[in-house]
Structure 1
Amino acid sequence: MKAKWNEKLGLKSVHIFWVYLLRKHPEGLSSAELSRHSQSNRSLVSREIRELIDMGHVAYRQDQENQRHGKKLVLTPSGWEISEFIRNTSLEIQNTVNDGIPMEDLIVFYRTLTTLQRRFDMLVQE
């Protein structure tokens, strides 16, 4: 499934996740913030973000062009289109997977999953 998305969009997996993160943060994220939110190496962000910029999906905020450090990356109109495709496809997949499972079971499952994720995050931070 991931390969199909990558082929259709012409993006790498990490690009898709960064587009998702930038959609969640329309005010923009600096490279350092993008690295932190995605738990990606900063050198990876530095190398790979250029591809999204060159494709015209991401740009630096216009009001910060002369700033040297901490410039915020934002989605361009084509980046927003891609983010909408990712969102819609994710919802379709979620609806297909959840089909036929009672809502009560889904609520318990996601509550448990959230608790497990929070605990794993705490372990990682120790």
Structure 2
Amino acid sequence: MIDLIERFEAFTTSVTKAYKCIQKIKLTETERMGLKASHVMYLYYLGKNPEGLTATQLCKLCIEDKAAVSRTMVDLTEKGLVKPVEIDSGRKYRTKMVLTAEGNEINKQLNQVIAEAVSQASSNLSETEREHFYHVFFQITDHLEKICDSLQQK
């Protein structure tokens, strides 16, 4: 039992530390660009999907609720970084959003920051170690999601 508790402590402390470091990197870099840290994943996924994404798709990808996605899309639209593919006032959550030319440029800058951070953070790992880490980490994450899903059903 003690071993499980110690693994819990080591795992949660490490995940929390990694999350806080990621947030600090996002905050530092986005402030420099006049953005918010919360914008990063939206810009990332929109850049990865040039055909556009709906609010519903962004909710799932960014792990955010509809209100947060809506607020962020308004903010990014006002900054000229995203735009709707087509205007359809009756179907707000089905309208696909895409990056503008300026949004694409910001996304390229963010991707450079991401690539550099990932490279530095994992510089001492071999490719085999990296693959093993992600394999194990994704298994743990999947199991934790199943536990959360079962809790919601109770």
Normalised by the size of structure 1, how large is the TM-score?
A: 0.86
- Aligned counterpart, 1:2: 26
- Structure 2, unmatched stretches of 5+, are 1-24
SS in structure 2 of the partner of residue 59 of structure 1: strand
The equivalent position to 2:68 in structure 1, one of 44, 65, 72, is 44
Higher share of residues assigned helix: 2
State the structure with more CA Rg.
2
- Aligned counterpart, 1:34: 58
Q: Mark the CA change 1:36 to 1:103 in structure 2 (over 3 Å): closer, same or farther.
A: closer
Higher RCO (C-alpha under 8 Å, 6+ residues apart): 1
- Aligned counterpart, 1:76: 100
- Aligned counterpart, 1:65: 87
- Aligned counterpart, 2:35: 11
Letter in 2 for 1:36: K
What's the C-alpha RMSD, in Å, of the aligned pairs? Answer: 1.7
Offset, 1:52? 0.3
How big is each residue's C-alpha offset from its partner over 1:16-63, in whole Å with a ceiling of 9 and x where there is no partner?
1111111222211112221222121211222221110011100000xx
- Structure 1, unmatched stretches of 5+, are none
The percent of aligned pairs where both chains have the same amino acid is 24
Aligned equivalents of 2:60, 2:125: Cα separation in 1: 35
After the TM superposition, list the runs of 4 or more consecutive aligned residues in structure 1 that deviate by more than 6 angstroms. Answer: none
Q: How many residues align?
A: 124
Residues 81 and 101 of structure 2 are in contact (CA less than 8 Å); yes or no, is this contact kept in structure 1?
Answer: yes
The equivalent position to 2:141 in structure 1, one of 114, 117, 121, is 117
How big is each residue's C-alpha offset from its partner over 1:73-92, in whole Å with a ceiling of 9 and x where there is no partner?
11111111111111111111
Aligned equivalents of 1:99, 1:93: Cα separation in 2: 10
